[in-house]
Amino acid sequence: MRIDVFTIFPDLVDGFCWFSLLGKARLTGLVDLRVHDLRSLATDPHRSVDDSPYGGGAGMVLRPEPVFEAVEAAEPVRPLLLLGPGGVRLNQGVAQHLADGPGFSLLCGRYEGVDARVAEHLCDGELSIGDYVLGGGEVAACVVVEAVTRLLPGVMGNAASAGDESFGATGLLEHPHYTRPATYRGHEVPAVLRSGDHASVARWRNAQALLRTAEQRPDLLGARGGLTDVDRRDLAEHGLLERVEKALAPEG
């Protein structure tokens, strides 16, 4: 998959994206990530990329020329998405949609904003990572690149992991995980996980995932269509059905 990122801080994005499984995927050629410096084509002595806003006001605006020229020189893979709080909200579905395609590109805004002609006449859409304001789109770009590339076949170490986890096939938060030691500072690993009974472990994990989701993110259980008969059975087996139904009641 090819991904192009346009930014005035290319080292920030490129550096982040050399770590861990994403860095490995770049080394093996699975991910062709190209980070472009918006200043690279600026010819003026100060290589400026910003200017004061028409109409007045505080702060600076990213100028159209360096952005249009950098994008046209790179011929990036489309869609080209502008990062900013006004865009379509990134979620697991949006990440999967981008992972299913041939690639995409990201433009990192900075300053008080980007000249509106960039969004209107150069970009294909806008993408947000959440309802808060960042100093620039670089960290948001890293979030998008990581969320998408880890879904690509062959990028994650364990092929089963991507589907098992939170927001995967189940639409639930994950069950809790444990590793050695069996007792740490007096806190024990649940006995069922050490029983060797895989069917019991699966029912316990489903009950735990349902409990966590009902208490922390009841909206996710609603979106999934509530509890199934199997869910009720697994919860009842562990004495958790009443607690989960209480958490899902209209008053919360």
Give residues in contact with ligand JF5 (CB under 6 A).
83-85, 109, 113-114, 128-130, 132-134, 136-137, 140
**Partners of 51 in beta bridges:** 61
Alpha-helix residue ranges (DSSP H) falling in the chain:
10-16, 20-27, 64-74, 92-100, 116-121, 138-149, 161-164, 198-216, 218-224, 229-237, 241-248
Residue 134 or 201 having the CB closest to ligand JF5: 134
Residue 25 or 67 having the CB closest to ligand JF5: 67
Provide the 8-state DSSP code for 88: E
Give residue for tokens 């000249």. Answer: 115
Residue 76 or 84 having the CB closest to ligand JF5: 84
The least CB distance from residue 133 to ligand JF5, in Å, is: 5
The least CB distance from residue 236 to ligand JF5, in Å, is: 42
Residue 143 or 214 having the CB closest to ligand JF5: 143
The least CB distance from residue 8 to ligand JF5, in Å, is: 12
Residue 134 or 248 having the CB closest to ligand JF5: 134
H-run or E-run covering 83: strand 80-89
How long, in residues, is the chain? 252
Residue 123 or 129 having the CB closest to ligand JF5: 129
The least CB distance from residue 30 to ligand JF5, in Å, is: 26
End-to-end CA distance of the chain: 43
**CB closest to ligand JF5, residue no:** 109
The least CB distance from residue 121 to ligand JF5, in Å, is: 17
Q: What is the DSSP string of 168-235?
A: STT-SPPPP---S-SEETTEEPPGGGGS--HHHHHHHHHHHHHHHHHHH-HHHHHHHTS--HHHHHHH
The least CB distance from residue 111 to ligand JF5, in Å, is: 7
